[in-house]
With several copies, the nearest count.
Chain A
Amino acid sequence: MTVLLLLLFIFVLAIFLGRELIQKVPSQLHTPLMSGTNAISGIAIVGAIASTAVGGTFSTVLAFIAVVLASINVFGGYLVTDRMLGMFRAGKRED
């Protein structure tokens, strides 16, 4: 019970923190920022990895698919964000 409440406290603080971190973003960064936060939401991969520890064939299949999906999110998400931001950099280099 205590642990749960502490986790809840952590959740609440992180929500407020997430709210504060994003402010006044220039519009050309909206898409990269969306993509970058999407990559972070790939943190589900941690859950997916942990769920491979459960045992049972069907559960393992589910866990495997979870790992596949989450790693698509993580790898794809970070790389695509980087590519996008690289484009901006390329445009900026000339000034």
Chain B
Amino acid sequence: MEAYFQLAYIAAAVLFIVGLKMLGRADTARRGNMVSAVGMLVAVVATLLQSGVDYAVVFAGLVVGGGVGVFWSRRVQMTQMPETVALFNGAGGGASLLVGWAEFLSRPGQDTVTAIATVLAVLVGGVTLTGSIVAWGKLSERVSGRPILFGGQQVVNGALLLAAVVVGVLFAMNPGGGYAWLLVAIAVALVLGVLSVIPIGGADMPIVISLLNSYSGLAASAAGFVIDNTVLIVAGSLVGASGLILTQIMCKAMNRSLTNVLFSGFGSATQSTGQAVEGEVKAMTPEDAYFVLEAANNVVFVPGYGMAVAQAQHAVKELADLLEENGAEVRYAIHPVAGRMPGHMNVLLAEANVPYEQLVEPGDVNPNMEMVDVAVVIGANDVVNPAAKEDKGSPLYGMPIIEVDRARTTFVLKRSMKPGFSGVENPLFYKDNTRMVFGDAKAVLGQLVGEFKSD
């Protein structure tokens, strides 16, 4: 019998591996997710058939938890995805913590290795739990998105980390007798999760969530060592390793290092802008902008975080349709870190039914930027900041941008002259061929659409 369970676990592991691989490619991603879900089903069923499982408890738990999960996943809007993932992730970490705890209570005479695994599951699971909740709070603006900094913060965090290690060692050295140490470990982990995430700015939360996701995998893996369960170990460490790689990939796309994200409190204050900006700001009314657009043959939209804030994606699509009717070629240049989560713009534009083939990457549009009659920047800022190319002193220096400063005309739709996420001034706004069209993006686009229609 035992042998069949193991074989089922091997099958589940293979399904996870194949599913994960498929998740990384656009054309197979959705099926990959289903393959991985089947793997989960296989693992759960095999576990349910094992002796001793308390079906009443499991069933009740599945109904409650499953219900919450289903409800939640249906209700959230696309823009709330990252924080939702954070919550789910925290739940997973919490489960690993509880598994370690419950196992300890029922089998207190643990050997050293099991004790180490237990305390790791509890510590990593605990950090994941509260860290994810804070990340959720920041993204959903229940907690301030600004980095919360206080004097000696890094010292406190360092001390907590040390405490976690010490408690872990004490517990492992005294296996079975160390219930008090285990409780202390739980408390330390929960506090550490909160304190290590609050100093990080809200906009960096996607990276933090990805990292915590990796942690929750490792916590599950540790729990697997506690109960000698292979599929827990394998699936957990797959997530632990792939989550870490994904975190690095995300950091790279934002031109940041992981250390910088975790410890710098980036975005905590408006930073020095590097060079002073020269030139004159030229504003334009939507009416005048309309005449320019009307004459354009080649238009590129550059959406950014402001489009998400204004929920202007449908208005953009409407304007694009009118421009196309008018004979213009329309494309959308999507910067990998536009918005506040990876793929943010893609999701919003997909929601508005923008055809996939009109989405282009910076590398496709930059070489021919001189041929673009009008580049319409919709609530984007950092991703079109020429300082990233020109000003070595700028914090953005080195990040690839969408080079709308080289287009024939550039319209920037935003509400004010305020800087974007990075807090860095944008010399684009002062260029000769730039016109600022101030106002909420959705409202301005609505006016432009109105002009086209009344024509």
Q: Chain A: residues with CB nearer than 8 A to chain B? A: 1-56, 58-60, 62-92, 94-95
Stretch of B63-71, B156-164, B369-377, B447-455 contacting A (4+ beta carbons < 8 Å):
B63-71
Nearest Cβ distance between residue B109 and chain A, in whole angstroms?
13
A72 to B357, CA, bound (A): 36
CA distance A19 to B214 in the complex (A): 11
Contacts of B25 in A (CB 8 A): 29
A88 to B17, CA, bound (A): 23
| Other A-B pairs, 9, CB within 8 Å; known A6-B230, A34-B85, A82-B30 | A8-B6, A39-B33, A47-B229, A47-B232, A54-B105, A54-B107, A69-B65, A75-B66, A76-B87
- In the complex, the answer to whether A52 meets B58 with C-beta atoms within 8 Å is yes
Given known contacts A16-B241, A76-B69, A51 and B343 CB-to-CB distance under 8 angstroms: no
Partner-A contacts on B (CB < 8 A): 2-3, 6-7, 9-10, 13-14, 16-17, 19-21, 23-26, 29-30, 32-34, 36-37, 39-40, 43-44, 47-48, 50-54, 57-58, 60-62, 64-66, 68-70, 72-74, 76, 78, 81-82, 84-85, 87-89, 91-92, 94-96, 98-99, 101-103, 105-107, 113, 206, 209-210, 213, 216-217, 219-221, 223-246, 249-250, 253, 334, 336-337, 341-344, 346-347, 349-351, 353-357
Which residues on the B side are within 8 Å of A37 (C-beta)?
Answer: 20, 23, 213, 217, 238-239, 242-243, 246
Name the A residues within 8 Å of B98 (CB-CB): 48, 51, 62-63, 65-66, 69
- What CA separation (Å) do A26 and B407 show in the bound complex? 26
Nearest chain B CB to A22 CB, angstrom units:
4
For this complex, 21 residue pairs linking A to B, each with C-beta atoms less than 8 Å apart, are: A5-B10, A9-B230, A11-B221, A11-B237, A12-B13, A21-B21, A40-B235, A43-B231, A44-B219, A46-B44, A47-B232, A53-B54, A64-B60, A73-B69, A75-B65, A77-B73, A79-B74, A80-B76, A88-B26, A91-B349, A92-B350
A95 to B: closest C-beta gap in Å: 5
Task: Determine which of A25, A38, A40 lies in contact with B24 in the assembled complex, contact meaning CB atoms within 8 Å.
Answer: A25
Compute how far the CA of A32 lies from the CA of B50 in the bound complex, rounded to whole angstroms: 33
Q: Do the beta carbons of B14 and A12 come within 8 Å of each other?
A: yes
When distances are taken between beta carbons in the complex, the residues of chain A under 8 Å from B242 are: 18-19, 21-22, 37
Closest chain-A Cβ to B229's Cβ sits at a distance in Å of 6
Chain A nearest CB, measured from B256 CB (Å): 14
On whether the beta carbons of B88 and A76 are closer than 8 Å, the reply is yes
Given A41-B220, A75-B65, A54 and B355 touching (CB < 8 A)? Answer: no
Bound together, the chains give a CA A52 to CA B54 distance in angstroms of 5
Q: Is the CB of A39 within 8 A of B343?
A: no
Name the residue on A nearest B37 (C-beta).
A78
Cα-based distance from A89 to B44 in the complex (angstroms): 29
Contacts of A53 in B (CB 8 A): 50-54
